[in-house]
Amino acid sequence: MTTVSDAAQVRAAQPGGGPGRSVRDSLVVAQRNLIRMKRIPEMAIFALVQPIMFVVLFTYVFGGSIALPGAPAGGVQPYREFLMAGVFAQTVTFATAGAGAGIADDMHRGLIDRFRSLPMSRGAVLTGRTLADLVQTALTMVVLAAVALLIGWRGHESIGKVLGGFGLLLLLGYAFSWIGALIGLSVRTPEAATSGGLLWLFPMTFVSNAFVPVTGMPSFLQHIAEWNPFSATVQAARQLFGNTLEGVPASVTGAWPMEHPVLASALWSVLIIAVFRTLAVRRYRSATA
């Protein structure tokens, strides 16, 4: 008994257990995924193509036709200011589908089972994967911001507020990546994970204030759009970038998230992480049990 107790005490005293071990394991898994992304550069290239296409199409094809309240008819620059926060937010959230597909692919190839056989924290596999996706999304945002500057978009607030806006966007992307992780663990193939991810992302991003003001929507959609977590982050980014327009009201229904978008965005993201990380880790344990 004494020998067993001493051995247990030695293990407890070693620095490898507890939160410290979970953090180290997560960083190792994140490094593994980042190395994989580096060796497959086309993944990053394809991730950039879609948001750049949205910027060009909405700015030069639709921008002159979308009327903003209080803006001159056919004015592209006001719409540019209005649009970019929505495109940034769409970019970080659409990365969710890729995150889910990556986890589903790891499950399909048996990599998750090999991780499970190692003496590592259970949640570290998913945490490392989502952290790696966050790094890739951040790099994508840097390139997309450069493209936005080239077409004439500008931030009109201090550098601290502008960085805060990008921080909230990345926080939302990280939160949604846990939804993608749960979907990836719940389906059998990467193709199903991609389809399942886009199935809910399209209505969430388009029933929002990202691309058009909610004033033109039916009344019931206005309420949905203004309580949408995606809309709160878009409005927060516009506010922090200094891209709000005088003719476009913050809220048409009096929704609290639109009146306090920065706080609402942070609360929504933290809540989504807390709920879906718990569900994803639980699903991971049962899927590999």
pLDDT, one tens digit per residue, over 3-51 is 333 333 333 333 445 677 788 888 888 888 788 777 777 777 777 787 8
Under 8 Å between Cβ of 182 and 279? yes
Residue 21 in any domain: the answer is no
Is residue 12 included in any domain, yes or no?
A: no
Are residues 234 and 211 in contact, defined by beta-carbon separation less than 8 angstroms? no
CB 107 within 8 A of CB 184: yes
Does pLDDT of 88 surpass 60?
yes
Residue 246 in domain: yes
Tell me the per-residue pLDDT of 248-264, one tens digit each, with 9 for 90 and over.
Answer: 888 889 999 999 999 99
- The verdict on residue 96 lying in a domain is yes
Domain with 43, as residue range(s), is: 26-287
Domain assignment present for 62: yes
**In-domain check, residue 138:** yes
CA distances from 135 to 93, 170, 208, 231, 271 (A): 14, 9, 26, 23, 21
Q: Among residues of the chain, what percentage have pLDDT more than 70? A: 88
Q: What is the pTM of this model?
A: 0.85
The tally of domains found in the chain comes to: 1
